[in-house]
Amino acid sequence: MEQSQHQILIVGLPETGKTSFIHALDDLLQNPPTPTSLRSDGLAPDRSYLEIDKENFRAGRKLVHTHSPQEAPPELWFEDPQTQRRGRLFIPDLRGEVFQFQWIDRKWTKAFGDDLTKVCGALVFVRADVPASNQELLGAMITMARSTNELLPWDPKKASPQVQLVDVLQFIAIKGRLTPPLKTAVLISAWDTVEKPDNLQPKTPNAFLAREWPLLDQYLRANPGTFVTEIYGVSALGGTEAELKELSKSPPQDRVKLVEEHQSSQDLTRPLRWLLELD
C-alpha cells in the first residue's frame, strides 16, 4: 500500500516542549503502547535530526537542538493497525524564537509561508508550569514609577506569552493561505506538574486552558470556522529535571502520559490520529 504524506505545523514559543514531544513520539511509534496505537512503518532514510539528541532524550537530559533550514525535518513513518493505512509524517521542529520573532518583527520567511499551504493540521504547545501572563512585571513597573518617575522600557519579548501566541495564530489564520478550518491540537506540556498533590490548578486539559490561558482559549473557541480544536495534557519526559534522574531508568515510552478530557493513557499518537482523521 502506498504511503500518504502529511505535514504537521508545530507552533510554540521557546521552551514549550516541542522537541521532547517529537522524540517521545518517535520512540512510541517504535514501541506502541496498545494494539490500536499508531506504529512505526520503518525508518526514514535521513534521521540525523532525531539521532543527534536521542541519547540525551532517553537519559532525561535537557534538549537544546532544534531544526535548522539546512537539516531534513523530522520524518516519521507510521502505520495504522486498524485500517492498514500507512503514511509519512513531516514535523518541522522550528525554534520557538521563530514564532517570537514573528510577533516582534511582524513578518515570516517566504519558505515558512509556502509550507503553511501544505499543512493538514497543527500542534500548538503551551507549558503547564509557565504562566500565560507576566504579572511579576507589574511590581517592577510600580516600583520604578514611584522611585524614578520613568517609564519601564517596552521589550516585546516580555509581552504575555498568550498574547504572543494568539498573535502568531492570527498571522497564520489571516496570511497563511490555509484551507479552513485547520484541525489544531493544543498540547499542554509538563502536565506531570499539574498532577502534583499540592497543585491546585484544574486537572482536566479543557478546564486548565480556560482558566490558565483564557485569551488563547477564547480566541480558539471564538473562531470555529478557522480552528477546530482538541486539548490534551502531555508529559513527554515523565517528570521534572530533578525527578528524571530516577525516572530515566525506565524506557521513555513507559514514562510518557497523555491526558484527555475523560481519559488518560500512554498513547501520544492519539492527537495525530485525530489530526489525520484516522479514527
Report the predicted TM-score, pTM, of the whole model to 2 decimal places: 0.89
Packing angle of the helix pair 161-175, 214-222 (nearest 10 deg): 20
**Domains by residue range for the chain, with CATH:** 4-275 (3.40.50.300)
Among the listed ranges 176-190, 221-235, 239-253, which one has the minimum average pLDDT value?
239-253
Contact 175, 110 (CB under 8 A): no
Residue from 128, 265, 268 nearest 191 by CA: 128
* CA pair distance 213, 131, nearest whole angstrom: 8
Average pLDDT, integer, range 183-212: 95
What cell was used for 159? 509581552
Cis peptide upstream of residue 81 (ω within 30 degrees of 0): no
Neighbour order of strands in the sheet with 4-11: 39-43, 75-79, 86-90, 4-11, 119-127, 182-189, 227-235, 257-259, 264-265
The mean pLDDT of the chain is 87
Alpha-carbon distances of 14 from 95, 161, 165, rounded to whole Å? 7, 10, 11
Q: What is the CA radius of gyration of the chain?
A: 19
Phi-psi region of 190 (alpha: psi -120 to 50; beta: other; left: phi over 0): left
Mention every residue, 6+ apart, whose C-beta is less than 8 A from residue 15.
96, 127, 130
Mean pLDDT, rounded, for 243-255: 83
pLDDT at 213: 96
23 touches 62 (CB < 8 A): no
Residue 87 pLDDT exceeds 70:
yes
Q: How confident is the model at residue 136 (pLDDT cuts 50, 70, 90)?
A: very low
Q: Look at residue 204 and tell me whether its pLDDT is greater than 50.
A: yes
Which segments of the chain does DSSP mark as H helices, in order? 18-30, 48-58, 96-105, 110-116, 136-148, 161-175, 205-212, 214-222, 244-247, 252-255, 270-275
Handedness of CA 75, 63, 275, 97 (dihedral sign): negative
